[in-house]
Amino acid sequence: MPVRWIPAAGPARGLAVAQLVNSLGDGAYYVCSALYFSQVVGLSAAQIGLGLTLAWGVGAVAGVPLGALADRRGPRGTAVALALATAVCVAAFLGVRSFLPFVLAACAYATAQCGLAAARQSLLAGLVGKSERTGVLAHLQSALNAGLALGAALGGLALHVGTAGAYLTVLTLDAVAFAGCALLLARLPEPRRRTAPAPAEGDPAEGGPAPVPSVLRDGPYALVAALNMVMLLRMPLISVAVPLWIAGHTTAPGWTVSALLVLNTGAVMLFQVRTAAAVRDLPSAVRTVRSGGVLMLLSCAVFAGSALDAPLWALFAVLLVAAGLQVWGEMRQSAGAWQISFDLAPAGRQGQYQGFFGAGVPVARMLGPLLLTTLIVTWGPPGWLVLGALFLGAGAAMGPAVRRAERNRPTAPVVASVVPSEPPSTGRFGPSEPPSTGRFRPSEPPSTAR
């Protein structure tokens, strides 16, 4: 059966459309934001970097409590509120003209973004059957990349115009896109809560509520999330480290960077759903993550080889092979990590667990550029090999870490657990059986985010 390019009608399709609208605005914002903050707001590069580092640090911390809020208050309402809050934060950038307001607005923006990613993951867990989550998240990732590509094209037009009005228009578009995302999420059903009484989350010895979210006391899950965070260093790889590498260590023309970005985005749009179809449970997810680590090691080795003297056509071919291996490893790592993050989280606590797992995205955004530029730009080819070894080691360690987390997985029922508001779809997303989740990057993002 051929892979469907869009989810079946129902909540999964609604989530995908909301993701597409959201990422369209983000694509334009990502292309223009740095120049807006430097040329219109008047900030230095150091101020922009410091402000964004602080912001994503705050966002990483905020994801867990906001995810726990989604567990308690309901994921749909929380996601709608956080999408609207993000729209307000983006609109606030329109009036920023100095460093301190920029930092405050950026911290609020990152907090709302990270919380929105956790709430949407919790909403997905409540609306989509367990066996379908990885496939649905694969569709969301494809929608994310499609939206980013379209938005980047619009942002490119603004860059071509190059006026303050053009940049302000892009930020307004992003704010409107988040408001549209909120409206689309509001149209989805709220997952039904279990009516059977259950003990509240807390310390069994005390019989009362825990002073901190339970995910912060779940050491095995924290180890899995930390290994995933190491592998998420691939996020700033193609957007930050590779362009600097090509400019400083190869003779390839500048347009090569654009070609590699197009390859990355297009491959995820076309093949992420098919890649996720092989992930069905924790064992298959572990194998997929492990193979992703191997592919990223091979990619790093090929990138290191691009520093050798070679004809231009050969150099371009080497870079294409390296980028192809990288995006193949990225898709496999993403698909496996989605399944792992959901399957190891106890019922009713998906929001806080997804907020914790998704914190790897802002941490990678915050620390990744500094680490990767040190390894790759400063160390050269040996740095590429060290990075590849990190990917390989994290992928190999994921299996034992997941098995340990599975043995120690909490089993006590909780009041806030949800069940799908309608029976799981019988349609298949892939050639063998229905896929399941996806990263936000955002948290990236989405990931939700990139």
Residue with the two structure tokens 């620390």: 367
- Pair 338, 436: CB distance under 8 Å: yes
- Pair 448, 442: CB distance under 8 Å: yes
* Distance separating alpha carbons of residues 22 and 108, to the nearest angstrom: 17
| pLDDT of 72 over the 70 cut | yes
Q: Of 84, 89, 82, which Cα lies nearest the Cα of 33? A: 89
CA 277 vs. chain centroid, Å, equals 19
Residue 21: which pLDDT band, with cuts at 50, 70 and 90?
very high
- Pair 286, 401: CB distance under 8 Å: no
Q: Give CA separation, 72 vs 68, 76, 418, in Å.
A: 6, 11, 11
Pull the structure tokens for residue 268. 């995820």
Q: Give CA separation, 199 vs 196, 242, 352, 414, in Å.
A: 10, 51, 18, 6
| pLDDT of 11 over the 90 cut | no
Give me the amino acid identity at 216: L
DSSP 5: S
CA 406 vs. chain centroid, Å, equals 23
- Pair 336, 279: CB distance under 8 Å: yes
* Distance separating alpha carbons of residues 305 and 99, to the nearest angstrom: 42
139: part of which helix (H) or strand (E)?
helix 133-161
- Pair 35, 159: CB distance under 8 Å: yes
Give me the amino acid identity at 129: G
* Distance separating alpha carbons of residues 223 and 259, to the nearest angstrom: 36
Q: Of 362, 444, 351, 354, which Cα lies nearest the Cα of 147? A: 444
The pLDDT of residue 411: 54
The pLDDT of residue 426: 35
Q: Say if residue 341 is exposed, middle or buried (CB neighbours under 10 Å; 0-12, 13-18, 19+).
A: buried
Determine how many CB atoms are found less than 10 A away from the CB of residue 197.
7
| pLDDT of 438 over the 60 cut | no
DSSP 234: G
Span 252-289, pLDDT tens digits: 887 888 788 888 888 888 888 888 888 889 999 999 99
Of 234 and 450, which is predicted with more confidence? Answer: 234
Per-residue burial over 356-395, b if 16 or more Cβ lie within 10 Å, else e, is bbbbbbbbbbbbbbebbbebbbeeebebbbebbebbbebb
Q: Report the CATH number of the 11-192+214-408 domain.
A: 1.20.1250.20
Q: Of 427, 442, 387, which Cα lies nearest the Cα of 241? A: 387
* Distance separating alpha carbons of residues 79 and 35, to the nearest angstrom: 30
Q: Of 335, 286, 354, which Cα lies nearest the Cα of 436? A: 335
Q: Of 112, 201, 216, 159, which Cα lies nearest the Cα of 448? A: 112
Span 327-354, pLDDT tens digits: 999 999 999 998 999 899 887 788 888 8
| pLDDT of 417 over the 80 cut | no
Residue 197: which pLDDT band, with cuts at 50, 70 and 90?
very low
CA 347 vs. chain centroid, Å, equals 22
pTM, 2 dp: 0.75
Residue 4: which pLDDT band, with cuts at 50, 70 and 90?
low
Span 291-313, pLDDT tens digits: 999 999 999 999 999 998 889 99
